[in-house]
Amino acid sequence: MALLEIRNLHASVSGKEILRGIDLTVGAGELHAIMGPNGSGKSTLAQVLAGRDLYEVTEGQVWYDGKDLLSMPPEQRAQEGIFMAFQYPVEIPGVSNMYFLKTALNTVRKSRGLEELDAMDFLTLAREKLALVEMDPAFLNRPVNAGFSGGEKKRNEILQMAVLEPRLAILDETDSGLDIDALKIVASGVNALRNPERAMIVVTHYQRLLNYIVPDRVHVLADGRIVKSGDKNLALEVEESGYAGVGEAVAA
């Protein structure tokens, strides 16, 4: 059984249909890239999977580990092992990264019947994960994302993913706004977290990220539908001929 199965998914925002029938199956251990031009619906898909209520699902189903994902509130999805790295991570002044991460981890652990970590154990774990994204432990004492640079925010997302150890990670344009050094750090963090039990969906506009995070499958999204799927070479094709070129190939 696939870990994630999306069937004929339609979703709208303020009455405007953005997703117009998505079908996608992702198995454990697989990494799928979803590419598409601006407005194609790729971020909407990520947000719908994470449970953002701005979007209304009008048709279709999403099965996650055999469960009806769309009936779950966002926190339950996270507890069940879904993680979305935000395209625009939210700044939360007044809440320290440490408190946020520890609260999130312990909530998730509790829901899985695991013991909560105390401050010492959490710190040990956090330090190990920080190294993965080359972040200074001082980050833990700063308010969540407040005053962070774009690169720091994206690394903080990967740090959260590393701490929460999801079964399905969705990275929403994690490469946007990153210089090449930051991109490499983020990519190596992501690669270190790949394993046979964990699935990942990487949403990106550009092929560049996929030089560092090599996908098993690539899907091109246009106008709310997947118009073409293939292996990693499809990303290179998109890079060469552009989205219009790929779209024409489909139409032809």
Partner 1 sequence: MTGIDQIRRDAARRFAELGYLTTRDEEWRFTNVSPIAKTHFSEAFSDLSAPERAQLDGRLSPSKGGLRLVFINGRYAPELSARKLSRGIRATPLQEANGAVEAHLARYASYQDRAFVALNTANFGDGACIEIPKGTVVEEPIHLVFLATGGEAPVISHPRSLIVLGPASQATVVESYLGHGARYFTNAVTEIVAGGHSVLDHYKLQEEDERSFHVATLQVQIGRDASFSTHSISLGGGLVRNDINAVLAEGTEATVNGLYLVSGSQHVDNHTAIDHAMPHGTSHELYKGILGGTSAAVFSGKIIVRPGAQKTDARQTNKNLVLSEDATINTKPELQIHADDVRCTHGATIGQLDQDAIFYLRSRGIAREQARELLTYAFARDIIDRVKVEPLRARLERILVERLHAGRN
Among 8, 68, 75, 114, binds partner 1 (CB under 8 A): 75
- Using DSSP's 3-state secondary structure scheme, residue 15 falls into coil
Q: How far is the CB of 139 from partner 1 (least distance, A)?
A: 16
| Residues 152-181, interacting with partner 1 (CB under 8 A) | 160, 164
Q: Does 53 bind partner 1 (CB under 8 A)?
A: yes
Q: Does 104 bind partner 1 (CB under 8 A)?
A: yes
Distance separating alpha carbons of residues 133 and 251, to the nearest angstrom: 42
Q: Does 107 bind partner 1 (CB under 8 A)?
A: yes
Q: Does 73 bind partner 1 (CB under 8 A)?
A: yes
Q: Does 141 bind partner 1 (CB under 8 A)?
A: no
Among 1, 90, 120, 180, binds partner 1 (CB under 8 A): 90
Distance separating alpha carbons of residues 179 and 139, to the nearest angstrom: 20
On whether the CB atoms of residues 183 and 133 are closer than 8 A, the answer is no
- Closest to partner 1 by CB, 106 or 176: 106
Helices (H) then strands (E): counts for the chain: 7, 12
Q: Does 51 bind partner 1 (CB under 8 A)?
A: yes
Q: Does 13 bind partner 1 (CB under 8 A)?
A: no
Among 60-68, 97-105, 128-136, 196-204, the segment contacting partner 1 (CB under 8 A): 97-105
On whether the CB atoms of residues 19 and 10 are closer than 8 A, the answer is yes
**H or E segment at 101?**
helix 97-111
Instruction: Give Cα 223 to chain centroid, integer Å.
Output: 20
Q: How many residues bind partner 1 (CB under 8 A)?
A: 28
Q: What is the DSSP string of 152-200?
A: HHHHHHHHHHHHH--SEEEEESTTTT--HHHHHHHHHHHHHT--TT-EE
Among 37-45, 107-115, 187-195, 225-233, the segment contacting partner 1 (CB under 8 A): 107-115
Residue numbers at the binding site for partner 1 (CB under 8 A) = 50-53, 73-75, 77-79, 83-84, 86, 89-95, 100, 103-104, 107-108, 111, 160, 164
